[in-house]
Every structure is written in C-alpha cells, then in structure tokens.
C-alpha cells in the first residue's frame, strides 16, 4: 500500500504532462512565441491558482485577479473559508472554484493538479501564499514545531512548484509567485524557524527563476512587510516571557492582533496592498519585490550592515514587546469604546 502511495503522484503527474503536451501541440503559434515576449510576465491571466486563499493576503489576491477577469482556483486547508472566498468572487460577477489543499502534503498537490487540469486546464499563474508564523525561542521549540513550520512555509512552496512548473514548461507559458516575507532579511530572535523558512523561499525562488526562464516561465518572490491580517492570532506562540501564565499570554496576543487589525488599514497595512504587489509581479515578471516601505528599509539595512541590523533586532525581547503592547492597550480601548448615544 505504501508503494502505491509513492507511485500515484508520479503516474498522475506523467499523465497530466503527456496530455498537456498533446494539447500544447495543437497551438503551434503559442508554442513558438518568442522568449522575450513571455519574459515580460502575464498581463491578463486566464486562470490563477492561489494557496491560502481563504483569508488575508490570499483572499485579497483572489479578489483582485478575479476583478481583472481571471478564473480563480481558490485553495485553503480550511474548506469553509475557501468556499467563502469563491462565493465572494461569484457574488461580484467573477468566476472561481474552491478546493481543500494541505500544502504540506505532496500527494494532495498531485490530486489537486489532476482535478484542476480535468476541469479547468493548466493555470497561467500559481501563487504560493499559504503559510503561518511560529514565535518561539529556539530552545523552547520541539522538533515537531520546527518540522511543521518548514513543511508548510517552505515545502508547501516547493511542492507547488514541483507540481505545476512542469505543466507550465510544457505550455511554454506561466508565472509562479512565491510569497516570502520581509523576515527573510530579519535575523530576529524568536523567529528562527519562521525567518529560516522565508529566506529559503526567497533563495529558492531566485534559483528557480534562472532555471525556468529559458522555458518561458517566470518566477517572482514577493516579500510583504507588516500586514493587517489574522497572522498574530493564528501564529503559534511559545515563550517564557509570561512565566507560564497562559491568560497573560492570550491577553497580550489578542491585544497585539487588535492593534494590527485596528491601525493596520489606517496606515496602509491592509492585505490588498500586498495583493497589488503580487499582481504587479505577475504582470512584469519581477524577480524579488519587497512590498511596503518598512520592507525596503529592512532590506537596505541588512545589506549595508548585517551585524548592526542583527544587534538592533536582538533588543526586541518578549518582555519589551509585551511592555509596548500593554502601553498600547488603553489607547486601543479608548478608540474602540462606543460614544454614548451614537447608536440609532
């Protein structure tokens, strides 16, 4: 039975690749398109597949591509939120289909590819967006925590590229956009596994870009900065800064998330800002695109002085961050407090 599971992805991939090749042969003009024509990116994609599209950056990207006329394949490990995104697109007059996908499962990728190819064809654009955060001192992380972080944030990107890149190469057309993070230039304490996964995604993307360029397939890496999503609430937090007091930790986490969602959109930290960057990278075939000023600043600082950047970031201990959050909590409460008599 184990042998069958190993053979299945190969059979599915080879079958799809053969049929994609046959389909591609019937479009000689497209196949013989000049390389410099394709290297400019894909301005008006016919179909876009996005991972982690049930919320946040993924959902904003799905809605933006749908408004541009693309059929969007919405995938997420959460079936309910994926369906919600597809319904939002349909309600706005767009076209979408939703699928459940665990990006850390390579067999699930192969099965998705088969379903998508049978029902929709080969995507013009693949956006590897799914990921989550782990905030924990390295010595407090278990082996499983580390493995799970890399399985989703890094292997999920690799599996997506391994599954769909061969089909795009056969079509001699396609754009892969991998979402990394500004953390790929941030040697910050307590982010060791998260930062490792993101810098690996960035370097993998740059390396793959050189390989696939000759086949008419572009590869971009988008590095977001601060984003007003549920990433804080959904992050796995393991720290001794609260002396084992789970209630204090939850209050701090909830307050930090509330600060992000309250002030983020006002300061331009909304997920749609990142979605615009993803669309721009797709249209122009940009290699690496930092999004938002703080990401450009972090990148510049790290390149100018890695040692100074690392020293500065090392000052952001959990105790100090918790102190800042506690100071901000009253301000947040005052902003959110309803005005007496304001309700109808």
- Report the pLDDT averaged over residues 223-230: 68
Please give the pLDDT value at position 267: 57
Report yes or no: 104 and 24 within 8 Å, Cβ to Cβ.
no
Highest-pLDDT range among 9-18, 132-141, 147-156, 267-276: 147-156
Report yes or no: 159 and 272 within 8 Å, Cβ to Cβ.
no
- pLDDT tens readout for residues 117-169: 999 999 999 999 999 988 888 898 899 999 999 999 999 999 999 999 999 99
Please give the pLDDT value at position 127: 99
**Which range is least confidently modeled, 207-221, 307-321, 329-343?**
329-343
How far apart CA 226 and CA 263 sit, in angstroms, is 11
Who has greater pLDDT, 186 or 26? 186
> Of 224, 151, 150, nearest to 181 (Cα)?
224
What's the chain's Rg over C-alpha atoms?
21
User: Which residues have a Cβ under 8 Å from the Cβ of 282 and sit 6 or more positions away?
Assistant: 41, 42, 45, 125, 175, 177, 220
Whole-prediction pTM? 0.79
Who has greater pLDDT, 223 or 6? 223
Beta-bridge mates of residue 125: 48, 175
Tell me the average pLDDT of the chain: 80
b (16+ CB within 10 A) / e for 231-262: bbeebebebebbeeeeeebebbbebbbbbbbe
**Which range is least confidently modeled, 4-13, 61-70, 126-135, 194-203?**
4-13
Please give the pLDDT value at position 195: 92
Q: Is the pLDDT assigned to residue 90 strictly greater than 90? A: yes
DSSP structural state of residue 266 = G
Give SS3 for 33.
Answer: coil
Please give the pLDDT value at position 35: 40
What phi, psi does 114 have (nearest 5°)? -65, -45
Q: What percent of the chain has pLDDT over 70?
A: 67
Q: Is the pLDDT assigned to residue 185 strictly greater than 60? A: yes
Per-residue tokens: 221? 């890496």
Please give the pLDDT value at position 314: 75
**Which range is least confidently modeled, 32-46, 103-117, 140-154?**
32-46
Q: Which residues are catalytic?
A: 194
Who has greater pLDDT, 52 or 134? 52
Q: How confident is the model at residue 282 (pLDDT cuts 50, 70, 90)?
A: very high
How far apart CA 235 and CA 134 sit, in angstroms, is 6
Alpha helices in the chain (DSSP H): 2-25, 28-31, 35-38, 56-67, 79-91, 106-119, 143-150, 156-171, 192-212, 231-234, 246-263, 271-284, 293-304, 306-314, 318-336
Give SS3 for 222.
Answer: strand
> Of 42, 35, 1, 292, nearest to 175 (Cα)?
42
- Report the pLDDT averaged over residues 102-107: 98
CATH assignment of 35-328? 3.40.50.720
User: Which residues have a Cβ under 8 Å from the Cβ of 153 and sit 6 or more positions away?
Assistant: 131, 132, 194, 197, 198, 201
Please give the pLDDT value at position 296: 83
Q: How confident is the model at residue 89 (pLDDT cuts 50, 70, 90)?
A: very high
Please give the pLDDT value at position 297: 85
Who has greater pLDDT, 268 or 111? 111
User: Which residues have a Cβ under 8 Å from the Cβ of 11 and sit 6 or more positions away?
Assistant: none
Q: How confident is the model at residue 315 (pLDDT cuts 50, 70, 90)?
A: confident
**Which range is least confidently modeled, 49-53, 71-75, 249-253?**
249-253
Please give the pLDDT value at position 309: 74
- Report the pLDDT averaged over residues 174-182: 96
């Amino acid at each position: 039975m184990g042998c069958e599971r190993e053979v299945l992805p190969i059979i599915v991939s080879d079958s799809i690749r053969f049929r994609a090749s046959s389909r591609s042969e019937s479009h000689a003009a497209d196949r013989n398109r000049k390389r410099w024509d394709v290297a400019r990116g894909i301005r008006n994609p016919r179909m876009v597949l996005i991972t982690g599209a049930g919320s946040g950056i993924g959902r904003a990207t799905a809605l933006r591509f749908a408004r541009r006329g693309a059929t969007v394949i919405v995938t997420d490990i959460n079936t309910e939120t994926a369906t919600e995104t597809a319904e939002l697109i349909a309600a706005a007059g767009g076209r979408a289909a939703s699928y459940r996908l665990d990006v850390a499962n390579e067999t699930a990728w192969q099965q998705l590819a088969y379903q998508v190819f049978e029902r929709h064809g080969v995507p013009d654009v693949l956006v590897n967006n799914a990921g989550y955060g782990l905030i924990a001192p390295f010595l407090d992380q278990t082996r499983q925590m580390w493995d799970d972080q890399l399985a989703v944030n890094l292997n999920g990107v690799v599996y997506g590229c391994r599954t769909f890149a061969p089909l795009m190469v056969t079509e001699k057309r396609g754009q892969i956009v991998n979402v990394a993070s500004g953390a790929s230039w941030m040697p910050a304490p307590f982010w060791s596994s998260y930062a490792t996964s993101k810098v690996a995604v960035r370097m993998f993307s740059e390396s793959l870009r050189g390989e696939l360029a000759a086949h008419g397939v572009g590869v971009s890496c988008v590095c977001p900065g601060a984003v007003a999503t549920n990433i804080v609430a959904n992050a796995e937090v393991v720290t001794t800064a609260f002396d084992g007091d789970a209630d204090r930790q939850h209050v701090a986490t909830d307050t930090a998330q509330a600060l992000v969602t309250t002030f983020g959109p006002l300061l331009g930290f909304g997920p749609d800002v990142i979605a615009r960057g993803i669309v721009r990278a797709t249209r122009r075939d940009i290699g690496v695109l930092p999004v938002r000023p703080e990401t450009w600043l972090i990148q510049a600082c790290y390149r100018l002085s890695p040692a100074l950047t690392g020293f500065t970031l090392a000052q952001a201990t959990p105790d100090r961050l918790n102190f800042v959050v506690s100071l901000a909590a009253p301000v947040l409460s005052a902003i959110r407090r309803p005005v007496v008599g304001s309700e109808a």
